[in-house]
């Protein structure tokens, strides 16, 4: 059975939510409750993003971050899977570590 096509308001709702979030962000950053270095405006973030792309640092930083995430995941799997298998196989160890 086919779903009815989304209503006109349902099609615009995601765009309105994003626009509202950007408007709130702009208004909040304009109040200067926090310094610009801690809470920049959307325009400041866009300028910084363009500068990072133009300088080539964005790709280097992205690669470094992905490397750290991958190493953390592999370390967690490398320690967690054997520990889980050990606890699953040895009843006394399971009783000691699990409530």
Statement to judge: residues 90 and 67 lie in one domain: yes
Apex CA 38: angle with CA 37 and CA 44, to 5°? 55
- pLDDT at position 53, please? 93
- pLDDT at position 2, please? 80
Statement to judge: residues 61 and 81 lie in one domain: yes
Statement to judge: residues 81 and 98 lie in one domain: yes
Do residues 58 and 52 make contact, with C-beta atoms less than 8 angstroms apart? yes
Q: How far apart are CA 90 and CA 86, in angstroms?
A: 6
Statement to judge: residues 94 and 68 lie in one domain: yes
Statement to judge: residues 50 and 15 lie in one domain: yes
- The answer as to whether 75 is a domain residue is yes
Apex CA 35: angle with CA 34 and CA 36, to 5°? 120
Quick: pLDDT tens for 2-24: 877 777 777 889 999 999 999 99
Statement to judge: residues 44 and 60 lie in one domain: no
pLDDT band at residue 74 using 50, 70 and 90 as cut-offs = very high
Statement to judge: residues 15 and 51 lie in one domain: yes
- Using the predicted structure, report yes or no on whether residue 72 has a pLDDT greater than 70: yes
- The answer as to whether 3 is a domain residue is no
Statement to judge: residues 48 and 73 lie in one domain: no
Domain enclosing residue 90, as ranges:
56-99
Statement to judge: residues 50 and 62 lie in one domain: no
Count of domains forming the chain: 2
Quick: pLDDT tens for 36-63: 889 999 999 999 999 999 999 999 999 9
Statement to judge: residues 23 and 36 lie in one domain: yes
């Amino acid at each position: 059975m086919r779903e009815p096509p989304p209503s006109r308001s349902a099609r615009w709702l995601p765009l309105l939510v994003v626009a509202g979030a950007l408007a709130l962000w702009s208004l909040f950053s304009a109040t200067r409750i926090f310094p610009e270095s801690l809470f920049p405006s959307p325009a400041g973030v866009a300028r910084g993003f363009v500068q990072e792309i133009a300088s080539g640092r964005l790709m280097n930083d992205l690669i470094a971050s992905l490397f750290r995430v991958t190493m953390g995941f592999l370390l967690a799997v490398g320690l967690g899977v054997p520990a889980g298998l050990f606890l699953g196989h040895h009843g006394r160890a399971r009783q000691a570590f699990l409530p």
